[in-house]
Amino acid sequence: MDRYAVMGHPVSHSRSPQIHALFAKATGQLMTYERIDPEPDRFEAAVARFRSEGGKGLNITLPFKERAFALADGQTARARAAGAANTLDFREGQVFADNTDGVGLVRDIVQNQRFMLQQKHILLLGAGGAARGVVLPLLAEQPARLVVANRTAARAFAILSELKASGTITDDLMGRAEACGLEDIPAEPFDVVINATSSSLTGAVPEVPQGVFGPRTLAYDMMYGRGQTPFLKLAQTHGAPYLADGLGMLVEQAAESFYLWRHLLPATAAVLQQLRAELG
C-alpha cells in the first residue's frame, strides 16, 4: 500500500483523507491517506520521518506551507510563484514541491462553474497565503485585468513584486495585474470577485465598494461552510447573480495533488456532491 498523509497544525478538521479515499476507490488505487499533526517546531522532522517510513507524498496545510516549499529539492513554477507548497511528492530520493491551490480555484471556476476567465476583469481580495497561491494561475488564464486588493495595501503590492521577482511570469501577463488598498478599488463591476481574505472566520466581510458587483458578476469565496458565507451574502445583496464557495476548489486542488502522485486525474463531480450533501 502506498502511503500518503496531510500535515497541518491543527489538522483534525481536514477533509483531505475523505476526499483522497474517494478518489482512490473510484480509480482503483491501493493507497492509504492519514492525518499527521506535528508540533510546530517538529515539522521538518515529521516530513523526514514520514519519508523514511516509505511515505510517497504529503498534502500540507496551515501553518506549514512555506516551510514545505523551503525544504524541497525542487519546486514547480506555481509553487515558486506562491512561495508555498500544499503538495510534496517523494520520488527518486528527492522531495518535489507543488502548489495545486491555484489550479484548483481556476478549474472550479472554469470547468465547474463554466465561467471563462480569458479577457475578464478579476478582483482578488486579500494578500495572505490564500491569495498568494492563486495569482499566477489566475493570470495564466489571460484575464484582461487582475486587481489584487487588500486592507493593508502594502501586502497586495508585495505579492505582485514578489511574483515578478520569482521569474515565473511573462511581462505581458504581469502587466495585467495591479495592486491597491480596499478603499482604492475601482468602483466598477468586475466579472469575477474572489474573496481570499480570512474575514469570514470572524463573521466579517472585506469592505469593498458595492459597485464591484454587477449584473453578471461571479462572486467566489475561497472559504466554505454550512450555509452561505458572509461574503456571498454581501455579494448577493449587492446583486451578484452567480455565487460559489470554496468547496469546489478544495476538491479540485486535491484532484491535482492526486494526479501528481498517481498520474491519474480523478473525476470530481460525485465527490463534490457528497461533500456538499454532508455539509448540509
Q: Which range, of 110-118, 194-202, 210-218, 234-242, touches ligand ATR by CB under 6 A? A: 194-202
Determine, following the binding rule CB under 6 A, whether residue 198 of this chain makes contact with ligand ATR.
yes
- Cell numbers given for 150: 487588500
Cell of 111: 470547468
The residues in 115-174 that bind ligand ATR, with binding defined as CB under 6 A, are 126-131, 150-152, 155
Site string for ligand ATR, 19-48 (x = CB under 6 A): ------------------------------
In DSSP terms, which residues pair with 88 in a beta bridge?
A: 58, 97
Half-sphere exposure of 76 (CA within 13 A, CB side): 22
Of 142 and 198, CB closest to ligand ATR: 198
Active site residue 65: yes
Mode of pairing for the β-strands spanning 94-98 and 87-91: antiparallel
Smallest gap from residue 3 Cβ to ligand ATR (A): 28
CB of 247 to ligand ATR, least distance (A): 16
Q: Binders of ligand ATR among 70-109, rule CB under 6 A? A: none
Distance CA 205, CA 197 (A): 9
Distance CA 1, CA 183 (A): 53
Select from 20, 38, 18 the least CA-distant residue to 29. Answer: 20
As a whole number of angstroms, the distance between CA 250 and CA 15 comes to 9
- 139 touches 169 (CB < 8 A): yes
What part of residues 221-250 is at the interface with ligand ATR (CB under 6 A)?
none
Q: Given candidates 45, 144, 187, 204, which one binds ligand ATR under the rule CB under 6 A?
A: 204
Number of H helices, E strands in the chain: 12, 12
Smallest distance, ligand ATR to C-beta of residue 127, A? 4
CA 40 to chain centre: 22
Q: Tell me whether residue 76 or residue 200 sits nearer to ligand ATR (CB atom).
A: 200
* Catalytic residue (one of 65, 120, 164, 233): 65
Q: How far is the CB of 131 from ligand ATR (least distance, A)?
A: 6
Task: Give the residues lining the site for ligand ATR (CB under 6 A).
Answer: 126-131, 150-152, 155, 197-199, 204, 206
Hey, which residues are catalytic here?
65
